[in-house]
Amino acid sequence: MMLSVHDLRVSFAREHGDPVEVVHGISLDLAKGETLGIVGESGSGKSVLSLATMGLLPRTARATGRILLDGEDILTMSERQLCRVRGRKIGMIFQEPMTALNPSMRVGAQIAEGLRLAQGLSRRDARIEALRLLEMVKIPRAAERIDSFPHEMSGGQRQRIGIAIALALKPELLIADEPTTALDVTVQAEVLDILDELVAELGIALILISHDLGVIARIADRTLVMYRGDEMEQGETEQVLRRPTHAYTRKLLAAMPGRVRASLELSDG
Amino acid sequence: MAEILKVQNLSRHYTLNGSTIRALDDVTLGLDEGRILGVVGESGSGKSTLAKQVMALDTPTSGEVLLDGRSLFALSPRQLRAARRNFQMVFQDPYSSLDPRHDVGRIIAEPLHLDPAAPKGAERRELVGELLEDVGLSASDVTRYPHEFSGGQRQRIAIARALITKPRLLVADEATSALDLTVQKQILELILKLREEHGISVLFITHNIGVVDEICDEVAVMQHGRLVETGPARAVLDAPREDYTRRLLAAEPTLEVIGRRSRRVAAR
Amino acid sequence: MRKLPFSLIAGGMITGGLLAAALLSRVWTPADPTAMNILNRLKAPGEAGLLGADQIGRDVLSIIMAGAWTSLGIAVTATLVGGAIGTLVGVSAAAKGGAFERVSMAVNGVLFSFPPILSAILLGALMGPGALTSITAIGVFMIPVFARVTRGAALQIWSRDFVQAARMAGKGPALITLQHILPNISAQIIVQLAIQTGLAILSEAGLSFLGMGVAPPTPSWGRMLADAQTFISAAPHLVLAPGLAIAAAVLGLNLLGDGLRDLTDPRRRQAS
């Protein structure tokens, strides 16, 4: 297994009183080229789980268990080791593309930055690679747009830049936390499809975190349903959606608008 | 059925760096008493600008908003205050729409400022308590502060505030978008219950077609400040006449595509 | 109880001590701060009184205590008056917007560009030196500081939806400012009051030093410093005592301001 999380527990220290545990023993395995959807509402612990996997937990947090990435435990790594892992082995895509990008830097330069720092590419080679990445995420007229600033692009294009940056160093694992939540619906589908195609093409493992079962259904092979820090159920996405075994999953499905639920039943036939 | 709200050729233009932005461009629509009209569109469609005009929080460049047949923008300030009792608003972000320094009782009672004859003291507390129970909270919550509540509970408080003057029209601007799915469902059910019990009319602004389908009788689809299509919700969603509506419907997140991914994996 | 920030405790203690000394000086000082005793002239600390005596034999500790009353009195009055006017300008600019906001902020910018010492010398020439001159000069300087801070803070609150809800309740700008804006920016105002009072003490000392402050024989730290210049080698305690008093006052109020800022920081509040 490329990523193997075993009995992960995360608790946060409080100014007074005992620490609060927010993730209560989550285990999961993820192979190369596989997409795992993690679905849950606010307070489910899904974002804390993703932060732990990237070694980005705040200092007040304490994590126990194991997070093995290619056999190495993220939880026991030093900050220096983590820096080598982030970006190179794990790529990240954030919810808000506008705040994740540097507003005063041209997008091409932002993609090239990591390439030059981590892979020691020359300015020219990094630019060529950045252009290739822009084309890969289907930015129209990439050769012109490479010198644009983030504010000159639409939300969907900015998120595609975010994907290009995350893929630049050819990570083995990609973590996307609500990558389409801030986008309009017509753009959401496009971005998800690009993401889906790329991870399949490049054989990258993807963890997709979302509150929206529709997003999960679209691209996740397997799905983990979380509620208040606990695993409710985990399995093939199709299985989880069509034959949920846990009452909470059924409640989540029931909360979907009728039209969306109907679409599940329609395709059942 | 009487028409409670009529929006007539409403336009709102802004000038930014010398160029004109048509946030709202010649929009005409109506809402009958006791009905729920969904205004659906993506960001920049002008749906929130429309809400602001209808609430008289902004003045249009041209056009009219008629409430019970009376033009909102022809009213004197005193008449407008009196009219405001009849329409109230629920905002998108329940973390921004409640003053953190005021307790729940004070927040909910705020619109009573519109009514000089509003009850005071114990009577007012009782009214607030009743409303809290109406929206599924407890009357003893009046002395608590917003930060003690979850997002869904805060939205219930905001709805209680909007109801205290017994308005006949409620404008909800993305009122469930910031909420968890299970909480959204509860709030939608609450709005339907209020319509049933009080015959309140609702202008429901949203980007979520699924929500429109859940609670709206009519729907108006907007894009780039213009009205694309209006009609009974069922008819428009089942058989859209306009291209844009069809695109919006096609992009709607659904659960039916799980098959597609599995097929693709299988084919590999 | 959660842990209070260190700066709040330290600042509170220093400021509290100063305030106590100032209040005490109204009813009791070791000696009469204006009584001369030529025999004690330039005596070192311990030889005559705890902090020695000055060039005409007055008890230094007594002058320092009485000077604290003068300094704090002028600084607090100036900051409160200037702060109130500035806050009024700031929140009105935020509430009204448009031409009023542009004009008031432009006037503000002009005021801000005058160093308080310069405007005090100007005022002193017009009004003659005295407590009122100091208060006016320092207070005028406070107006733009508070106007700027409160306008920025108020604009942020104006963009919140609960203000729209208040408008839906038929409330006008004045009522909204009173009920929603001011309570939500009170923390920033209080922090600013503490820090600016510290700066005002410094300005007051500067004005007295230049002879534009309170007139003798009213005790004042700034004038003590000015008078002691000539004796700096013979009696260094005469410079040190008022110098340290001024430094302590400014430090104490700044720490207090920082501590209050930490205490009211929403990120801290949420953590508790």
Tell me the chain A residues in contact with residue B246 when contact means C-beta distances shorter than 8 Å.
Answer: none
The predicted model gives B29-48 an average pLDDT of 92
3-state secondary structure of B24: strand
pLDDT of residue C118: 78
A257 Cβ neighbours under 8 A, 6+ residues apart: B208, B209, B210, B211, B213, B214
pLDDT at position C86 is 95
Question: Is C199 inside any structural domain?
Answer: yes
B253/A217 Cα distance (integer angstroms)? 9
- In chain C, residues with a C-beta closer than 8 Å to the C-beta of A16 are 2, 272
pLDDT for B254 beyond 80? no
In a domain, C39, yes or no: no
Q: Which residues of B touch C (CB under 8 A)?
A: 55, 57, 80-81, 84, 88-89, 91-93, 96-101, 107, 110-114, 158, 161
Strand-pair partners of A69? A3, A72
pLDDT (0 to 100) of residue C268: 52
Pairing state between β A61-69 and A173-177: unpaired
Q: Provide DSSP, B81-121.
A: HHHHTTEEEE-S-TTTSS-TTS-HHHHHHGGGGG-TT---H
Any domain includes C83: yes
pLDDT band for position A88 (cuts 50, 70, 90): confident
Question: Does the pLDDT of residue B99 top 70, yes or no?
Answer: yes
Q: Which of C3, C177, C205, C216 is nearest to C90 (CA)?
A: C177
Using CB atoms, list chains with 3+ pairs below 8 Å to chain C.
Answer: A, B
Indicate whether C216 pLDDT > 80.
no
Q: What is the pLDDT of residue C58?
A: 78
Q: Which residues on chain C are in Cβ contact (under 8 Å) with B93? A: 161
Q: Rounded to whole angstroms, what are the CA distances from A242 to A35, A192, A251, A268, C249?
A: 18, 22, 13, 8, 71
Helix (H) or strand (E) holding B251: helix B243-251
Rounded alpha-carbon distances, angstroms, from residue A199 to A1, A69, A135, B104: 17, 18, 15, 49
Distance CA A225, CA B181 (A): 14
User: What strand order describes the sheet that includes B3-16?
Assistant: B19-32, B3-16, B62-67, B70-71
Contact of A144 with chain C, judged by CB distance below 8 Å, is answered with no
Asked if C98 is an interface residue toward chain B (Cβ–Cβ < 8 A), one would say: no
Find the mean pLDDT for residues B175-192.
88
Domain ranges of chain B: 21-58+173-268
Res. B258: pLDDT tops 70: no
User: C122 - beta bridge partners?
Assistant: none
**Token couple for A37:** 């959807």
- State whether C164 and B97 contact (CB < 8 Å): yes
Q: Which long-range contacts (CB under 8 A, 24 or more apart) does B128-136 make?
A: B128/B104, B128/B160, B128/B164, B131/B160, B131/B163, B131/B164, B132/B104, B132/B108, B132/B157, B132/B160, B134/B160, B134/B163, B134/B194, B135/B159, B135/B160, B135/B163, B135/B190, B136/B186, B136/B190
In this prediction the pTM is: 0.82
**Interchain pair B89, C164: CB under 8 A:** yes
Distance from CA of A22 to the nearest CA of C (A): 15
Chain C CB within 8 Å of residue A16 CB: yes
Confirm if A216 and A39 have CB atoms less than 8 A apart.
yes
Alpha helices in chain C (DSSP H): 6-27, 60-96, 98-112, 116-127, 131-158, 161-168, 173-176, 182-209, 221-228, 237-264, 266-271
**Domain CATH for C70:** 1.10.3720.10
* C264 contacts in chain B (CB < 8 Å): none
HSE-up (13 A, CA, CB side) for residue A35: 29
Q: How confident is the model at residue C137 (pLDDT cuts 50, 70, 90)?
A: confident
* pLDDT band at C1; cut points 50, 70, 90: very low
Looking at chain C from residue 132 to 191, which residues have their Cβ under 8 Å from any Cβ of chain B? 160-162, 164-171, 180, 183-184
A186:B248 CB<8 A: yes
Q: Which residues of A177-197 are buried (b: 16+ CB within 10 A; e: fewer)?
A: bbbbebbbbebbbbbbebbbe
When pLDDT is averaged across residues C202-222 and rounded to a whole number, the result is 83
The mean per-residue pLDDT over the stretch B64-70 comes to 91
A269 pLDDT above the threshold of 50: no
> In C, which residues are within 8 Å of B114 by CB distance?
169-170
- For A183-220, the pLDDT digits (tens) are 888 888 888 888 988 888 888 999 999 998 888 988 89
- Judge whether residue B64 has pLDDT over 80: yes
- What is the phi-psi region of residue A18: left when phi exceeds 0, alpha when psi lies from -120 to 50, beta otherwise? beta
Contact C145, C196 (CB under 8 A): yes
Query: Nearest CA of chain B to the CA of A104: how many Å?
Result: 21
E-strand ranges in A94-204 read: 173-177
Answer yes or no: are the C-beta atoms of C49 and C31 closer than 8 Å: yes
**Alpha carbon of C1: minimum distance to chain B alpha carbons (Å):** 19
pLDDT score recorded for residue A7: 95
According to the model, what pLDDT value does residue B263 have?
A: 47
For tokens 């998108």, what's the residue? Answer: B92
CB contact under 8 A, A218 and B211: no
Average pLDDT over residues B123-141: 92
Residue B26: the pLDDT is 94
Q: Is B38 a residue whose pLDDT tops 90?
A: yes
Other C-beta atoms lying within 10 Å of the C-beta of residue A58: 9
Contacts with C166 from chain B: Cβ below 8 Å? 99, 110
Option in B98, B114, B158 nearest C169 (CB)? B114
State the CATH number of the domain containing residue A256.
Answer: 3.40.50.300
* Over residues C20-43, mean pLDDT: 76
In this prediction, residue C272 carries a pLDDT of 34
Total residues belonging to chain C: 272
Residue B32 has a pLDDT of 94
Q: Over the stretch C75-130, which tens digit does the pLDDT of each residue have?
A: 999 999 999 999 999 999 999 888 888 888 888 888 878 776 777 778 777 877 78
Nearest CA in chain B to C184: B101
Q: By CB neighbour count within 10 A (0-12 exposed, 13-18 middle, 19+ buried), where does C252 fall?
A: buried
CA distance A53 to A2: 12
B184 neighbourhood in chain A, CB within 8 Å: 255
Within 10 A of C232 (CB to CB), how many other CB atoms are there?
11
Of the candidates B96, B158, B155, the one whose C-alpha atom is nearest the C-alpha of residue C160 is B96
pLDDT average, residue stretch C189-198: 92
CATH superfamily name and code, B21-58+173-268: P-loop containing nucleotide triphosphate hydrolases (3.40.50.300)
pLDDT band with cut points at 50, 70 and 90 for residue B264: low
Could you list the residue range(s) of the whole structural domain that residue C156 is in?
6-11+52-267
How near does any CA of chain B get to the CA of A207, in Å?
Answer: 16
Mean pLDDT of B75-93: 91
The shortest CB-CB distance from B181 to any of A41, A238, A258 is to A41
The C-alpha atoms of residue C216 and residue C208 are separated, in whole angstroms, by: 10
Cβ atoms of C168 and C154 closer than 8 Å: no
Read off the pLDDT of each residue in B254-263 and give the average, rounded to a whole number: 60
In a domain, C99, yes or no: yes
Q: Which of A260, A265, A266, A268 to mutate to test the interface with B (most CBs of B within 10 A)?
A: A260
Q: C185, C187, C111: which is closest to C155 by C-alpha?
A: C185
Total domains in the fold of chain C? 1
Chain C residues whose beta carbon lies within 8 Å of the beta carbon of residue B99: 160, 162, 166, 180, 183-184
What is residue A68's predicted lDDT score, i.e. its pLDDT?
Answer: 94
- Put simply, the answer to whether C271 touches A16 (Cβ < 8 Å) is no
Residue range A221-260, pLDDT digits in tens: 999 999 999 999 999 998 899 899 999 999 999 988 888 8
In whole numbers, what is the pLDDT of chain C averaged over residues?
Answer: 84
Segment B139-144 shows an average pLDDT of 92
Show Cβ contacts of residue C227 under 8 Å, excluding neighbours closer than 6 positions.
C54, C55, C238
pLDDT band at B266 (very low <50, low <70, confident <90, very high): low
Question: B182: how many CB neighbours lie within 10 A of its CB?
Answer: 15
Residue type, position B37, single letter: L
* A15 touching C (Cβ < 8 Å): yes
- Mean per-residue pLDDT, B143-153: 91
A265 compared with C1, residue with greater pLDDT: A265
For residues A25 and A14, the answer to whether their CB atoms sit within 8 Å is no
Q: Model confidence over A38-63: pLDDT tens digits? A: 999 888 999 899 999 998 888 889 99
Task: Please tell me the predicted confidence (pLDDT) of residue B257.
Answer: 63
Look at residue C161 and tell me if it is in a domain: yes
**Taking Cα atoms as reference points, which of C221, C246, C250 lies closest to residue C54?**
C221
Q: Look at residue B260 and tell me whether its pLDDT is greater than 60.
A: no
Does C267 contact chain A (CB < 8 Å)?
Answer: no
CB contact under 8 A, B252 and A259: yes
- Give the orientation angle of helix B121-134 with respect to helix B151-163, to 10 degrees: 130
Residue of chain B whose alpha carbon sits nearest to that of C158: B96
